[in-house]
A = this chain, B = another copy of it.
Amino acid sequence: MKVAILGYGTVGSGVGEIITNGETADVKTLCLAHILERKENLHLHPLMCDDIQTILQDDSVEVVVETLGGIEPAHTFIIAALSAGKHVVSANKAVIAVYLKEFQECAQAHGVKFLYEASCGGGIPWLHGLANAKRIDEIEEIHGIFNGTSNYILDHMAKEHQPFDVILRKAQDLGYAERDPGADIDGIDIQNKLKISSALAFDCDIPETIPTFGIRNISKEDIEYAASQHQKIKLMAEAVRNNDHFYAIVEPQLIDEGNMEASINENLNLTCLYGATIGPLMFYGQGAGKLPTANAIVQDIIDIQNQCSSAVFTPKVKMTYDTALIQRSYIIRATLKEADMKAILGDDLKQCFAFKGKIYYQTAKISAYWMHDKMKDILTQDKEAFMMGLRGVNA
């Protein structure tokens, strides 16, 4: 089966490597036909071209791999490839989190597949596992550690007793974090993955907004406080469903040591689902990186070849956002005086304590929606304030 790749960066070239060097029967039947790249790069590979029409008009190309990243021209090229009767496999979470429904409808209209395993959890067969689980169960909850960069930072702040900035620079030097780290540390990358995962898990439209609080403000003291409680701080994605109600958030959470979520080290990822008959089911592996992500793309291509793809979401359920579905106690570090916190949090402010010279506040069990909203007020008075949800024990 002939494959064209759009964009030959880290992941795209990883797909090229696996197709070219792969020694299994499934991979040997694949053949690289074209690589779309910018004009200045065309000398790098004999199969490179800089005109999408070369690919669209080559009837022998059955699968187009989109690893351009970003919204445009990715969106236009995906629609053009599907409309030309070519299957499309994409790793581009940003464009899928916006256009998944359009891509799937376009694919169905043209009798081809749009697959996107690599967009969530890199090499982890997460969307595949989710799609299979819901062949039998209604998915009740999904959660996990969906971003390796932020997990690396949290893990190494704890291990090396260093502040955020030092570890972020180290992660950048190692290639684990981008020069502009916003998407990773502010939870935007996780938010996109949680949107895509929720749509597939719950068969609903992609949620437009998910309350998201990242780790940009985390301090050494926050990590030390967690350790003093035998807990770890993890940046968690979480979506909960109750019939046609659901809610989703991205936030740092305190997790008791000894739990699975607390044991995820380095830049690895964990993705979890719950269903009535399967119970808890979790997947752990490389959530990003050249070859793991390329592996997920090639798995999708082999599924197309074997006519066995399953990760299709059918938005048949009209979901209602229900802010009461996720509730927990929060711990907030802020320089605000107790009276000022009281003015924001009211009777839900339960406790104030000092730790290593910083002031922390603990709330009653409250709705995550409400807390994320109130945190905006707190940040207007202390732009370095930080909050973490008390998840505690799960297993």
Task: List the interface of chain A (C-beta within 8 A of B).
Answer: 14, 18, 22-24, 26-27, 123-125, 128-129, 132, 134-138, 257-260, 262-266, 268, 275-286, 289, 291-292, 294-295, 298-299, 302, 306-308, 310, 395
By a CB distance below 8 angstroms, the chain B residues around A289 are 279
By a CB distance below 8 angstroms, the chain B residues around A259 are 263
Query: What is the distance, in angstroms, from A31's C-beta to the closest C-beta of chain B?
Result: 16
Choice from B14, B275, B285 contacting A282 with Cβ under 8 Å: B285
Query: What is the distance, in angstroms, from A28's C-beta to the closest C-beta of chain B?
Result: 11
Inter-chain CA distance A298–B137, complex, in Å, is 11
Inter-chain CA distance A292–B278, complex, in Å, is 5
Choice from B23, B24, B135, B279 contacting A26 with Cβ under 8 Å: B135
Query: Are B283 and A282 within 8 A (Cβ)?
Result: yes
Query: Are A281 and B284 within 8 A (Cβ)?
Result: yes
Choice from B135, B258, B285 contacting A278 with Cβ under 8 Å: B285
How many copies of the shown chain assemble into the complex? 2
By a CB distance below 8 angstroms, the chain B residues around A263 are 258-260, 262-263, 395
Query: Are B134 and A125 within 8 A (Cβ)?
Result: no
* Closest B residue to A309 using CB positions: B308
By a CB distance below 8 angstroms, the chain B residues around A276 are 291
Choice from B137, B268, B291 contacting A295 with Cβ under 8 Å: B137
By a CB distance below 8 angstroms, the chain B residues around A268 are 280, 395
Query: Are A123 and B281 within 8 A (Cβ)?
Result: yes
Inter-chain CA distance A382–B281, complex, in Å, is 41
Inter-chain CA distance A285–B132, complex, in Å, is 15
Q: A260-B260, A308-B306, A395-B266 are in contact. Are A281 and B136 (CB under 8 A)?
A: no
Q: Which of A128, A281, A307 has the most CB of B within 10 A?
A: A281
Between A and B, 8 residue pairs with Cβ closer than 8 Å are: A18-B277, A123-B278, A135-B302, A257-B258, A258-B263, A278-B285, A307-B307, A307-B308
Query: What is the distance, in angstroms, from A303's C-beta to the closest C-beta of chain B?
Result: 9
